[in-house]
Each structure stands twice: as structure tokens, then as C-alpha cells.
Copies of this chain bind each other. A is one copy, B any other.
Amino acid sequence: MLRKVAKSAVLTALNAYDKRDGALQPQSPSAWDMTVSDVGELCWEGNSLAALAERFGTPLYVVSRARLERDYREFLGAFTALYPKVEIGCSYKTNPLPGVIRAMHEIGASAEVISHFELWLALRLGMPGERIIMNGPAKTDKALELAVSNGVRLINVDNPDEIATIERLAAKYGRRQEVGVRVVTSVGWSAQFGLRIGTGQAMEAFRRMKAAPHLVPCALHAHLGTGIHDAGVYFTAVTEMLQFARRLRDELDVEMRYLDFGGGFGVPTVRPLSPTDRKLIDNGFQVKPPREGLAPTTQEYAQGIIDRFSQYYDVASPQSPQIVFEPGRAMTSRAQCLLLSVLALKNGDRSSEYAILDGGKNITIPLGYEYHEAFVANRMKETQTRRYSMFGPLCHPGDVLFKHRDFPKLVKGDLIAIMDAGAYFVPNQMNFSNPRPPAVMVSGSDVRVIRERETFEDIVRLDAI
């Protein structure tokens, strides 16, 4: 009985929460540099998304080259305003569309790869070895040989066993290979990755690398997590890495050429779904978009990181180490959206009507754990809303895109734009009963297909039929 009363009180409070003016308004399309046309169509760089969907079909990824460039330049510029030797590596794993990667390289990013395939792709895209950094917990001997033989600039060791392999390969190819260590600090991810500073593992790896005649130990690498919205995590890790770099100089006479602080920076337009969000959703309520100011600005990151760096190195000296970042999400998340069509509408539950879309979990894995904004891209001026749950085309009840979210009243054929589809959507795609989407890149009036739609024949082309 008490429990029932408590539950009812909670639901009343939630209902009040749900009805607060504006609290549940979606973010503005301007957060992605999108505009709304006179006829209510969502546009990117002047291109109507509805027209693109009409021309190329759905599901469809759309990438804005201007937005890619803006996010790159703003991130880099915030740091280079304070220290010139800063470099951004394009995180191949975050968005492996070669068209996106190529654009990032054209804009100025180097390559950060974590697998044999990604290394191959960087070379295939014409990147010289000296613009490639190789990371990852599972470097096969073949991948390391491809790296060393192609003069990859830096290999960050994840596991002490890699040291002997790289030494052998460097000797074979007559190179002196620059190497670093992926370190684990007191904050951020540890798990299966890297070597701890605190236990002496990292120091021991440097000792071994220093003793290897074909290796040049000269880098520290960390990667703290994904979608991080807490600058303090970075500041702590950076401080520990700077302290460790000083110890390497003092104890081993090893000087850093690169301090690679990795990626993981969250974007302000996406937030992880919390246990509370899940409870709200389970009870039929809409959850809130990210609040403004959720993510620290790049200026705040830059100021905090370079402040700490400058306590250890002279920011005016060309001898000071290169600072490397590998922000995946912060570079590509906001520059790509996913367009889906409403295939069917049906009676739903107490809280929501149901819409079936032509893409589901097969191509939207991040929607399972993150809040992403979504718009009805062909009817942005509609003011009357209804509450919907949206499902994909798979035959599983977990094939959910959104539950209980307000949208303009839908009709079959409406176009749903899922925002921030530029990070971890493409690498997590699967062929569950369906082909994978194509991608177009818009750059002003220039619209080009950067990945073609997979045909049914494509799906089975490696099969004996």
C-alpha cells in the first residue's frame, strides 16, 4: 500500500516534470548548423534533407563538410592559440567512411589507426607513414610489419610483448622506430588496455625499449574513455603523464617527442542515458535533451591542458614535445545525420503511438545508450505534437530507436533525421536482414556520394550461392 502511494506520488511528480514548459523542447537545428526552409524542410549547407532522401533513398547518411571543417578548426585553434605544436589525428574507428576520413586529412588531420585494416586504409588513402600513428590492444605481427615497413611515425605499445616484435621488424627494415607506451593513469579507462604508471609496468616497458637498438622511445599515449563531459578527468591524466615524462627524463634520460592525450571528448548535443532516464522511459515519459553547457568548451580544455603542460615544458620552445589528440566523436559526431523513413504507424500503448522505420538497431546502436536529437525533417514547422515510440524493421522487441518522444503528428513516408550520427554509427552497423546505408557528403551546392548503397547482391557476394 505504502509502495503504491509512493509510486503514485512519483508518477504525479513525473507528470509535472513532463509538462514543464520548454523543458523537453528539442535542441535547435542550429546546434548542427542546420536551417529550416520556408516550406519547413530541414537543410544542411542549403540542401534540403527531404530532397536528398528523395534523390538517394533512405536509410541515408548525410555528412556536412563545412561542419567537419568547423569542428576540426575550432578544436585545433583553441590549442594552437596557446601552443603551436598541437596535432589532431583522425580516429579511424569512430567513423570509418573513407570519404569522411579523406576530408579530415584534406582539412589537416593525420591518421590514428588501431587495426591492420585501418592501417591499410590510411596507406590506401595516400597517407605517408610519417602522418600515421598506430595504437590498439591487438596488433598482429602482420599489422606491425606493415607499419614498420611503411615508416609509420609512431607505434604506441599496449603490451610488453610488442616491444620485441617491433625491434625485430625495425632491424629487418633498417629503421629506428619511434615508439611510445599507452599508459594507464589513476583516472579513465584501464581494463584490458595499456600499462599502468602506478605499478611500474610503464617504466619497465620504457627500460626495455631504451635497451632495444632499433627503437626510439619518445611518446606517452592515453585514451581515457568516450563521450567524456568532465574536464577534470583530462587534467588529472595530463598531470600524471607530465610527471611521468619528467621521471622518464630523470631516471632513464628518455625525452618525450609526443604526448598523445587521446580522444574521448564528449559533444554538447549528445548525453549518455542514465538509469533515471531509463526509468522515466520505462514509465512512458519523455526524457530531456542535454542541457546547455553540458560539455566543457574546447577553450576550457585547451586552457586547462596547456596550463599544466607549461609547468613542465616551455611553450615557446620548438624542442618541446608535440601534443597529439585523437578526438573521434568531437570531430565527426555533429557533421553527420542519419535519415530514415516512416514505413508504418500503428496503435501503441497508453503513452505513445508506434512508428515503424526503415532502419533500427541494425544501424543505430548508439541510440541504445545515448540521447540523440531527432527531427521530422520534412515538417519542421508543424507545431502540434504527439508522443511516439519508434521501432526498426527487425523482428525483435529490442529494435527500438526512441520510446515516448514528442514529434509532429506523423504520416507514412515522413522523414526522420537522427542527429549526431557521425560517431560510432557506421562502425557498429550490421547486416541484420537488411543492406547498409549509403552516404552523401554535402559541401555547399556540391553533393557527392561517398558510399554507395549496398545492393542485395553485395551482401552475398562472398558467399557460395
Contact A395 B114, beta carbon cutoff 8 Å: yes
Nearest B residue to A112 by beta-carbon distance?
B395
- Other 12 A-B pairs with CB < 8 A, given A96-B431, A99-B463, A201-B347: A93-B432, A96-B433, A115-B433, A117-B435, A136-B433, A137-B391, A192-B356, A223-B395, A429-B431, A438-B462, A452-B462, A453-B462
The answer to whether A432 and B428 touch (CB under 8 A), given A344-B161, A463-B97, is yes
The listed residue (B190, B192, B427) touching A431 by CB distance below 8 A is B427
The listed residue (B124, B347, B389, B431) touching A465 by CB distance below 8 A is B124
Interface residues in A, total, Cβ within 8 A: 78
* A449 vs chain B, min Cβ distance (A): 7
Contact A465 B98, beta carbon cutoff 8 Å: yes
* Copies assembled: 2
* A460 interfacial contact with B, CB 8 Å: yes
The A442-465 residues at the B interface (CB cut-off 8 A) are 448-454, 456, 458-460, 462-465
13 contacts between A and B (CB under 8 A): A93-B432, A98-B465, A115-B393, A138-B356, A140-B358, A159-B344, A161-B346, A226-B396, A427-B432, A428-B432, A438-B462, A451-B462, A454-B462
Contact A117 B459, beta carbon cutoff 8 Å: yes
* A32 interfacial contact with B, CB 8 Å: no
Contact B449 A464, beta carbon cutoff 8 Å: yes
* A394 interfacial contact with B, CB 8 Å: yes
Contact A138 B344, beta carbon cutoff 8 Å: yes
Query: Could you give, for residues 190-205 of chain A, a 1 whenever the CB lies within 8 Å of some chain B CB and a 0 otherwise?
Result: 1111000000010000
* A392 interfacial contact with B, CB 8 Å: yes
* A312 interfacial contact with B, CB 8 Å: no
* A10 vs chain B, min Cβ distance (A): 23
The answer to whether A433 and B118 touch (CB under 8 A), given A98-B464, A125-B465, A137-B393, is yes
Nearest B residue to A344 by beta-carbon distance?
B159
* A189 interfacial contact with B, CB 8 Å: yes
| Residues in chain B near residue A149, CB distance under 8 A | none
Query: Could you give, for residues 235-260 of chain A, a 1 whenever the CB lies within 8 Å of some chain B CB and a 0 otherwise?
Result: 00000000000000000000000000
The A30-75 residues at the B interface (CB cut-off 8 A) are none
* A17 interfacial contact with B, CB 8 Å: no
Nearest B residue to A226 by beta-carbon distance?
B396
Q: In the complex, A431 Cα to B427 Cα: how many Å?
A: 6
The listed residue (B158, B161, B397, B451) touching A464 by CB distance below 8 A is B451
* A92 interfacial contact with B, CB 8 Å: yes
* A133 vs chain B, min Cβ distance (A): 13
The answer to whether A397 and B96 touch (CB under 8 A), given A358-B140, A432-B427, A452-B462, is no
Contact B433 A448, beta carbon cutoff 8 Å: no
* A434 interfacial contact with B, CB 8 Å: yes
Q: In the complex, A138 Cα to B390 Cα: how many Å?
A: 12
